[in-house]
Chains A and B, each alone.
Chain A
């Protein structure tokens, strides 16, 4: 009796080995999922929190921020310093300086939440490396949005009188927004 059990167990054990081999063979025939990092990058998920950035109004090509300083007040770490001026022809003030101390920012999101004009959001930038501490202590977000605005006006040469077709409008924010991602952070 025990001989039969032994033979059966040996047979079952051998079968389980074959099952294991089949599993690895199946895995080997599936596509490779490695991302070759510096050459390929993953798309960041929608809720990824990079450092905050100012948002460009896709229609006017200007920063949405009205320099109300609510975000600076809401920030628990006090790491936002901003200033605004009233430019010619504008009814409201607009941002003229926006500095973030990224070394103390905890990415809590209070600033994004409180902003009445939806003028800031988390960027999807994760390649933030610098040899210089100052790059993060005084991150000049205004300089970044200015570069974005310049790219926007380069992409929209037509005068504002000839209003762009509405179909093109939703496509606009994505095009300039992807550009500063590639620009070096420091």
Chain B
């Protein structure tokens, strides 16, 4: 235990663990995505490489690695090379503070939630830089879209998070998880006595998460039928691969966060068996259920138009999240006021 708690060992373990997790996860989520798309369209999906296609990620990876990384003439070569790294770094940082289990957390910061959101917003900048550095009109249009989309969806997301913070009173993700112990009726999602609109809050959070990670139906940033591949148009080989990996890593971060904030993190739904490895199991069960939902949503809904995307945020999600914010505040403070007056 003392060996594990040494600082360099901790950092090393975290780095290796997270990089392996993010890499393998991205590879197999791509497969899951293609398989899921196949099932929904009643096709088998990739099934040639290995048994039922499980070697497909390896084949894809080799293909991407074998390609030359081109830096087209006229691009800003520094920013062009930097953008994939910048886009990959934030999700890796966010995973520092996500509690995967009772004791499985790289560093339990008391401002964990703040860290996740501040690094989450760097992602936008990285995509914008990638688009800008490409000197390609499609990439620049995409960069502009990414910015306006993320600005629009950051607001309801943060409003929802403020609602939650009023409830929990802490930004430490581990503490937020601990508060939801003891069965699914203690999860924030079902704390209807604090705020009867809690499930609505969850839906808002999930929608914003989809928009922030540029997933269909909000994938305006890549919109392959209008913008070639959006910000990634000029990228080839592993440069493109890293963007893809980052997209999946962001989905994982978003779903982990949704799990921690609303679905009780590593707490078991029945109140018992949430320590040690069981906690990990519950956490990943919930997270992957959410990720599969993300995939399911992608293959159900067509891409929205850009103005209806913005309308959804400014006209529906922001007023709704403000309403839940006010309602929560009122429900928490009015009894105190009542007691003080009487």
User: Which chain A residues have a beta carbon within 8 Å of chain B's beta carbons?
Assistant: 10, 14, 17, 20-21, 23-25, 27-28, 30-34, 36
| Chain B residues touching A, majority SS | helix
Which residues of chain B have C-beta atoms less than 8 A from A21's C-beta? 296-297, 300
For A14, the closest partner residue in chain B by CB is B203
Number of A-B contacts (CB under 8 A): 35
B43 pairs with A24, CB closer than 8 A: no
The 17 listed contacts between A and B (C-beta, < 8 Å) are: A14-B203, A20-B301, A21-B296, A21-B297, A21-B300, A24-B299, A24-B300, A25-B296, A27-B40, A27-B41, A27-B42, A28-B36, A28-B39, A28-B296, A32-B43, A34-B42, A34-B44
Shortest Cβ distance from A8 into chain B, in angstroms? 12
A34 CA / B40 CA spacing, docked (Å)? 12
B44 pairs with A32, CB closer than 8 A: yes
Q: Does B331 sit within 8 A of A, measured CB to CB?
A: no
For A30, the closest partner residue in chain B by CB is B42
Within 8 A of A (CB), among B191-207: 203
User: Which chain B residues have a beta carbon within 8 Å of chain A's beta carbons?
Assistant: 36, 38-44, 203, 296-297, 299-301, 316, 320
5 nearest CB pairs, A to B: A24-B300, A28-B39, A24-B40, A28-B40, A34-B43
Shortest Cβ distance from A86 into chain B, in angstroms? 56
A23 CA / B301 CA spacing, docked (Å)? 11
For A3, the closest partner residue in chain B by CB is B319
A31 CA / B39 CA spacing, docked (Å)? 9
Which residues of chain B have C-beta atoms less than 8 A from A27's C-beta? 40-42
A30 CA / B299 CA spacing, docked (Å)? 16
Shortest Cβ distance from B34 into chain A, in angstroms? 14
Which residues of chain A have C-beta atoms less than 8 A from B36's C-beta? 28
A46 CA / B36 CA spacing, docked (Å)? 35
Which residues of chain B have C-beta atoms less than 8 A from A30's C-beta? 42
Shortest Cβ distance from A34 into chain B, in angstroms? 5
Instruction: Give which listed residue, A23, A32, A36, contacts B42 with CB less than 8 A.
Output: A32
For A22, the closest partner residue in chain B by CB is B300
A36 CA / B44 CA spacing, docked (Å)? 9
A36 CA / B36 CA spacing, docked (Å)? 18
With A24-B299, A25-B296, A36-B44 already in contact, 8 other A-B pairs whose C-beta atoms are closer than 8 Å: A21-B297, A24-B300, A28-B296, A31-B42, A32-B42, A32-B43, A34-B42, A34-B43
A32 CA / B330 CA spacing, docked (Å)? 52
